[in-house]
A and B are shown apart, each in its own frame.
Chain A
Amino acid sequence: RKEVEQDPGPFNVPEGATVAFNCTYSNSASQSFFWYRQDCRKEPKLLMSVYSSGNEDGRFTAQLNRASQYISLLIRDSKLSDSATYLCVVNLMNRDDKIIFGKGTRLHILP
């Protein structure tokens, strides 16, 4: 099983729809989790952290399921500007400070 696994997509979603994607991780000792966003030909940027209790930031909701070892990202009322690649990131926070990036899920919002 890969350390961090995501469906590469692309997800083609009409504007205004709700879209969700998951990310699974293999190391149960993983401590912290994040979603990053990467636009075409740009650098990745932090979208949001993922907390055990779940957290929301505007139209974005992130959830963590430690028992099943996955995190999810839900985008409501999607906008054209949400088109990007969403990277799942897992931080083992161990001695090696290993931070693992998933390969990303491509999202296209269609007008």
Chain B
Amino acid sequence: DTAVSQTPKYLVTQMGNDKSIKCEQNLGHDTMYWYKQDSKKFLKIMFSYNNKELIINETVPNRFSPKSPDKAHLNLHINSLELGDSAVYFCASSHRDGNTIYFGEGSWLTVV
């Protein structure tokens, strides 16, 4: 039983394309996140949602648009992909207090 699952795991796409990464958690958590980990391994938060409401929106290009249809899902849509978007994107979830964050396995995005 995967607690936080995200798809696809690997994605290779051309510059300018639009792509989506889906995420689902079955832990009953109220809060979900998207993190980006770049080639320097720095894990940086992009978005945080609590009960489908956007809580944190860090400085991220507006080409990135999260969508939370319900509190168990948080999808990430990226428009007009650029080379610099190549990274690992981790979905995660936690209870409201943020203690113990459970991560998905990551989605390896390569833009060519």
Residues of A within 8 A of B (CB): 32, 34, 36, 42-46, 49, 85, 87, 89, 91, 93, 96-99, 101, 103-104
Chain A residues contacting B31 (CB-CB under 8 Å) are 97
What are 29 contact pairs spanning A and B, CB under 8 A?
Answer: A32-B97, A32-B98, A32-B99, A34-B100, A36-B101, A42-B106, A43-B103, A43-B105, A44-B43, A44-B101, A44-B103, A46-B101, A49-B100, A87-B43, A89-B101, A96-B55, A97-B31, A97-B48, A97-B50, A97-B97, A98-B56, A99-B45, A101-B43, A101-B45, A103-B40, A103-B41, A103-B42, A103-B43, A104-B41
Q: Nearest chain A CB to B40's CB is how many angstroms away?
A: 8
Say whether B19 faces chain A, with CB atoms less than 8 Å apart: no
Cα-based distance from A9 to B29 in the complex (angstroms)? 34
Cα-based distance from A97 to B49 in the complex (angstroms)? 10
Say whether B66 faces chain A, with CB atoms less than 8 Å apart: no
Residues of B within 8 A of A (CB): 31, 35, 40-45, 48, 50, 55-56, 90, 96-101, 103-106
Chain A residues contacting B56 (CB-CB under 8 Å) are 96-98
Q: B56, B96, B101, B103 — which one has the most chain A CB atoms within 10 A of its CB? A: B101
Q: Which of A44, A89, A93 contacts B97 (CB 8 A)?
A: A93
Q: Other CB < 8 Å A-B pairs besides A36-B101, A87-B43, A101-B35, 19 of them? A: A32-B98, A32-B99, A34-B99, A42-B106, A43-B105, A43-B106, A44-B90, A89-B101, A91-B99, A96-B55, A97-B48, A97-B50, A97-B56, A97-B96, A99-B45, A99-B98, A101-B44, A104-B41, A104-B43
